[in-house]
Structure 1
Amino acid sequence: MPKLYGETLSRLDLARMSGDARAFGGVRLMTLGDGLERGIRLLEFRAGSLRFTVAVDRAMDILELEWQGVPLHWSGPSGLRSASLHEYEGEGGFSWGRSFTGLLVTCGLDHTLGPAEVPASNYNYPGVKTIRHGLHGRVSTIPARLTGYGERWEGDRCILWAEGEIRQAATFGENLTLYRRIECDLGSQEIRLSDRVVNTGFLNTPHMFFYHVNLGAPLLAEGARYLAPITDTPWAAHEARYRDQGVGYQTIPAPQRHFSEQVWQHETKADPQGETHVALVNPRLGLGFMVTTRKDQLPCLYEWQHFQEGGYALGIEPSTHHVLGDTAARDRGEMIWLGPQEERRYDSRFTVLTDLGAAEARIRAIHPQPQDDYPQPSGHFRPLTGRPQKE
């Protein structure tokens, strides 16, 4: 039964208290009308203390997230920008940053990480020898076809939900579809995300995928801490200046005047159910946020630190591939090749934390993380197995 306003209430209780139970929560479709966000459809989920919005026309990514009115998401300087204004191949492949904002930004579907040029022989078209990819791929700026949304009661449980399809396709290129379902229960602290990426074409197609989960102030603040069951840190983008900025992987500083981006890849251990839990906790607020994914689906983890004044963000980034990139994935035999009508599934949960001690104990019980804020990068990228090469 929903827990709302300090009470546990049945469906009948809610019906007695209002002419429309959607007064207490529901899913509402709206369209924005001004500036760069003009025309973008949003779904607003109201689940009691939890409120979040889904940008339908931006791959059904989660834009805003609030807990009892406190924002937990990051808002980038570009703001929410209509997909029709995005220039994917601009600025040497880095124009992605002009459309980068919100809690969840999905990366893929056939490429992630930095701009790259890769062979296109798998598409069997003589006129296209290579394909150029921009930063983190195309999917995050593709509008979804909204296939349904609303509220569903199962006894005294009310499930808020939405579903959509995001098609990334080209003649003489990939034909991939992301089928996305988002759910949360009325009165809960958790969002459930179910993704299915399908090769809806008939040519072997590379697939790479990760979630760029971005947290901002006031949750992100000096003294907040990054929690994860880290067993190794294979890589740090900033290894040559590892301690120069005085910022390690674990303890969050205040916004910095001249901070230069830091990125880490961590190796993590899963719990007995095969899940990996990563969190940011803020003891001063008594709030935190946890990302839960399956180790067999998203085996790699990046940590993005952007502590520059005016941009202040932390990214939790579970991924299908190592940070080495597209070409290395092919060379190492770790690229995911989807054959005709083949698919990959990704099941994740995003949870607002109010019992920080319990969350930290849960993660520590899986594996104690390094106490040193500067664990020495090992350079060891474990083999990602079970990925037949089909090119």
Structure 2
Amino acid sequence: MGDGVVNIFGEALSAAALRERTGDLASVAGVREVVLGNGVERGVRAVQLRSAAGLEVEVLVDRALDLGAARFRGVPFGWRSGNGFRHPGLHQNNDEGGLSWLRALDGLLVSGGLDHTLFGNEVDAGQYGYPPKQTVSHGLHGRLTAIPGRLLEAGEIWDGDRCTLRVRGEVVQATSFGEHLRLTRTVEVDFDGLDLRLHDVVDNLGFERTPHMFLYHLNFGWPIVDAGTEFVAPVTGTPWRSDSCAEQGVSYRVLPDPQPGFVEQVYEHSLVADDNGQYRVALIRGDSTFGVEVAWDAATMPCFFEWQNLRSGQYAVGLEPSTHHVAGDAAARDDGSMTWLEHGESRTYRTTIRVLDGTEATSSARDAIRRVSGQPD
């Protein structure tokens, strides 16, 4: 909604005119708090955001304020793995050799952090000054996703005739004689918008120097992910790729049909930032009728991974902005790239997920990315 006008059902209405036509704006767009009530999801609080343009997304309060189901005009674009939005009380961080995070992997966004991302390992914990704890053991992508959040705000925020659907909350990752980090997350959608905006601030509430790593596992599924779907990005090189990429020979750029027994392929791509200092990447269906673009601050998340999980029954692509390279925690400490937060220090992250509706929108996004840089075949 801009300049007092809302675009809905192909008609431009003033905010006042819209109010004349409905006794409750929730009939058009709004924010709704729910509690999931069955199976492994039982007890998980969620906030549903629904824009007048047809964008719908769930913020999973008890899953670190991550993003669950996402749809556009009833069509899903956030990936569903089959795990369900598992209640954090069922999670065991170091179970299954540190791979238990995979049981929580479901939905549009699963965040990694706050002191560790990427594959698990054991690292020095001497900075915490607790003799019985000389090292700390991490599982895949850290502990964040299994921590319930504290909801601070959920509602429609009016500024004159402009309305923003907003959810804000915080997640604290803490232990005695260890890290004490806080994530404050704001999720916003304009009343008639197609953009989903994330604003994250991570700060150190503790008094010990603490490592900080952060990653967005943004997961997209069918029908955006389909045979012929194109990954568009200003790629200048690929410094790392999993062995499965060469063994299977599936393109990083154009997707095939689902593959029985497909082994995940992971690429770390080097990208070029646009004039606004942002990285922009997109997934666009082969017929160019539908897509999604992700844009984020290149300075705060300089690394990027493409995750192809094209196995039958799983079929997804992950777009993963990251603060650190694929080698992970120990390597970042060794080469000096680890982010260390002193007491009161913070890092801020801004990301936009945009639905591309129709060939004009997908062509515009593709052309804008191509103007930044070409892309190897």
Q: TM-score range by the shorter chain?
A: over 0.9
User: CA offset at residue 285 of structure 1?
Assistant: 6.2
Q: 360, 365, 369: which is aligned to 1:359? A: 365
- 1:114 paired with 2:119, answer yes
Q: Output the CA distance in 2 between the equivalents of 1:284 and 1:79.
A: 30
Alpha-carbon contact 1:229-1:269 (below 8 Å) kept: yes
- 1:177 paired with 2:177, answer no
Aligned partner of residue 244 in structure 1, secondary structure: helix
The aligned residue for residue 26 of structure 2 is 22
1:207-244 Cα shifts (integer Å, max 9, x gaps): 00010000001110000000111111101012xx5443
Equivalent positions of 1:80-159 (< 5 A) are 80-159=85-164
- How high is the sequence identity, in percent, across the aligned residues? 45
- 1:54 paired with 2:59, answer yes
The aligned residue for residue 195 of structure 1 is 200
Equivalent positions of 1:336-347 (< 5 A) are 336-347=339-350
- 1:277 paired with 2:280, answer yes
Alpha-carbon contact 1:283-1:356 (below 8 Å) kept: no
Q: Output the CA distance in 2 between the equivalents of 1:243 and 1:337.
A: 36
Aligned partner of residue 201 in structure 1, secondary structure: coil
User: CA offset at residue 77 of structure 1?
Assistant: 2.3
Q: Output the CA distance in 2 between the equivalents of 1:284 and 1:291.
A: 20
Alpha-carbon contact 1:107-1:212 (below 8 Å) kept: yes
Q: 207, 211, 220: which is aligned to 1:215? A: 220
Equivalent positions of 1:287-306 (< 5 A) are 287-306=290-309
The aligned residue for residue 381 of structure 1 is none
Runs of 4+, deviation exceeding 2 Å: 241-244
Q: Output the CA distance in 2 between the equivalents of 1:251 and 1:319.
A: 23
Q: Output the CA distance in 2 between the equivalents of 1:176 and 1:243.
A: 39
User: CA offset at residue 125 of structure 1?
Assistant: 0.7
Gaps of 5+ in 1: 373-391
Alpha-carbon contact 1:107-1:211 (below 8 Å) kept: yes
Q: 9, 21, 36: which is aligned to 2:13? A: 9
- 1:249 paired with 2:255, answer no
TM-score w.r.t. length of structure 2 = 0.96
Q: Output the CA distance in 2 between the equivalents of 1:9 and 1:289.
A: 27
Q: Output the CA distance in 1 between the equivalents of 2:227 and 2:292.
A: 16
The aligned residue for residue 350 of structure 1 is 353
1:323-358 Cα shifts (integer Å, max 9, x gaps): 011000000000000001100000110100121111
Provide the alpha-carbon RMSD of the alignment: 0.9
The aligned residue for residue 271 of structure 2 is 268
The aligned residue for residue 68 of structure 1 is 73
Q: Give the letter aligned to residue 339 of structure 1.
A: E
Alpha-carbon contact 1:229-1:368 (below 8 Å) kept: yes
TM-score w.r.t. length of structure 1 = 0.93
Aligned partner of residue 273 in structure 1, secondary structure: coil
Q: Give the letter aligned to residue 41 of structure 1.
A: R
Aligned partner of residue 321 in structure 1, secondary structure: coil
The aligned residue for residue 321 of structure 1 is 324
Q: Output the CA distance in 2 between the equivalents of 1:206 and 1:89.
A: 19
User: CA offset at residue 163 of structure 1?
Assistant: 0.5
1:144-199 Cα shifts (integer Å, max 9, x gaps): 00011100122222100010010000001100000000111011110110000000
Question: Which moves more between the two structures, 150-159 or 349-358?
Answer: 150-159
The aligned residue for residue 31 of structure 1 is 35
Aligned partner of residue 140 in structure 1, secondary structure: helix
User: CA offset at residue 67 of structure 1?
Assistant: 0.7
Q: Output the CA distance in 1 between the equivalents of 2:364 and 2:105.
A: 33
Gaps of 5+ in 2: none
User: CA offset at residue 79 of structure 1?
Assistant: 1.3
Distance 1:125 1:43, change over 3 A: same
